[in-house]
Amino acid sequence: MTHEISCSKTMFDMTENQKMVLLHIARYGPQHGYIISKTRLLPDGSVDKRSLIDRKAEPHIRSQQLSSSAVLYAIRQLKRAGLLKKTRKGMKGSKRRDIYRLTFSGLSLALFVELDKDVIYDVIDKWKKLDPVILGKWDHITKNIPKEEIGILLFTAMFKRFGYPEAIKSLVRDTIVVESIGLSFFEWLFKKGPPVSSGTKLQDIKVVKESRALTIFREFFFDEVFQKYDPLDDWIVTIRGDIKLRNWTVKYLRKRISTLERQEERLKSIASRLEKV
């Protein structure tokens, strides 16, 4: 099964500065505001390496160098929303500078905010330490499973984890188009019509703790795997081939089995009571 992800102007209620800072950190790794403010950025967060002459010759490709105060304000808002986290202090002479990294929620959002599909896998590889169970096993998993298939699973699980059921649906203004075989979460969400922004702002988002975010993401990911793939031969081989991946999956499945058994007993009890004359 092959899936192609095509994001068409995926827009959120974020300011241009917030978006550039988030995507810059996603592309280049942990940063402090001073360095970002000394860098000329393109809208996708990449560094504009063109000369002044080239920039004048290509005015349609706009870039800007944010002031220190603008960068720090954007970082403060992203941190408040749970998308960035202060990781350590950097030193410049006698001055200490805070260095910021993405949280898992920050990575999830960055992958939806106008990232070129050609750099998505590079970004995932750069931040795979955020999730040692799935992203951390990226090289191992993609030995047996095509990247495109893993990509759609990651996107679906991240989308559900970060936005399900309300946050992202209320923030997205334009349609994310996903061409896939069968009914996907994206199709369920967007085939009903393009979502309309509710006016929710970045600073109004409440993000769960990172450990909880990772647990929800992993559960959604494996739910997608076990519901959509039949036979599961390649996945069984892949999961069994890594002890950490195998242990986490078995633990999760045992938990799911226990939950389903309790649900089954409850439904049987209800049916039995209804059948009594």
Dihedral pair phi/psi, residue 158, rounded to 5°: -65, -40
Each residue of 159-175: pLDDT tens digit? Answer: 665 544 344 444 333 33
Reported as a pLDDT band with limits 50, 70 and 90, residue 195 is very low
Average pLDDT over residues 190-217: 58
Q: Is pLDDT above 50 for 131? A: yes
| In a domain? residue 32 | yes
Most confident of 154-158, 169-173, 215-219, 260-264: 260-264
Share of the chain above pLDDT 70, in %: 71
Find the largest Cα–Cα distance for the chain: 88
Reported as a pLDDT band with limits 50, 70 and 90, residue 246 is very high
Reported as a pLDDT band with limits 50, 70 and 90, residue 204 is low
Each residue of 64-74: pLDDT tens digit? Answer: 888 889 999 99
| In a domain? residue 263 | no
How far, in Å, CA of 254 to CA of 129, rounded?
A: 26
What pLDDT is stored for residue 167 in this prediction?
Answer: 41
Q: Is pLDDT above 60 for 28? A: yes
- The token pair at 255 is 């938990």
Domain enclosing residue 45, as ranges: 4-241
Residues in the chain: 277
Reported as a pLDDT band with limits 50, 70 and 90, residue 257 is very high
What pLDDT is stored for residue 254 in this prediction?
Answer: 95
How far, in Å, CA of 173 to CA of 176, rounded?
A: 9
| In a domain? residue 46 | yes
Q: Is pLDDT above 70 for 140? A: yes
| In a domain? residue 24 | yes
Domain count, the chain: 1
| In a domain? residue 69 | yes
Q: Is pLDDT above 60 for 30? A: yes
- The token pair at 20 is 């550039």
How many other CB atoms are found less than 10 A from the CB of residue 79? 16
| In a domain? residue 254 | no
How far, in Å, CA of 220 to CA of 156, rounded?
A: 8
Query: Average model confidence (pLDDT) for the chain?
Result: 75
| In a domain? residue 252 | no
Each residue of 62-105: pLDDT tens digit? Answer: 778 888 899 999 998 888 878 899 887 655 555 667 899 998 88
Nearest to 226 by CA among 153, 142, 155, 164: 153
Per-residue 3-state assignment (H helix, E strand, C coil) for the chain: CCCEEEECCCCCCCCHHHHHHHHHHHHHCCEEHHHHHCCCECCCCCECCCCHHHHHHCCCCCCECCCHHHHHHHHHHHHHCCCEEEEEEEEECCEEEEEEEECHHHHHHHCCCCCCHHHHHHHHHHCHHHCCCCHHHHHHHCCCCCHHHHHHHHHHHHHHHHHCCCHHHHHCCCCEEEECCCCCHHHHHHCCCCCCCCCCCHHHCCCCCHHHHHHHHHHHHHHHHHHHCCCCHHHHHHHHCCHHHHHHHHHHHHHHHHHHHHHHHHHHHHHHHHHCC
| In a domain? residue 134 | yes
What pLDDT is stored for residue 111 in this prediction?
Answer: 79
CA–CA–CA angle 124, 128, 64 (5° rounding): 50
What pLDDT is stored for residue 117 in this prediction?
Answer: 67
Report the C-alpha dihedral over residues 241, 162, 101, 81, rounded to 10 degrees: -160
Q: Is pLDDT above 80 for 57? A: no
pTM for this entry: 0.74
Dihedral pair phi/psi, residue 176, rounded to 5°: -90, 120
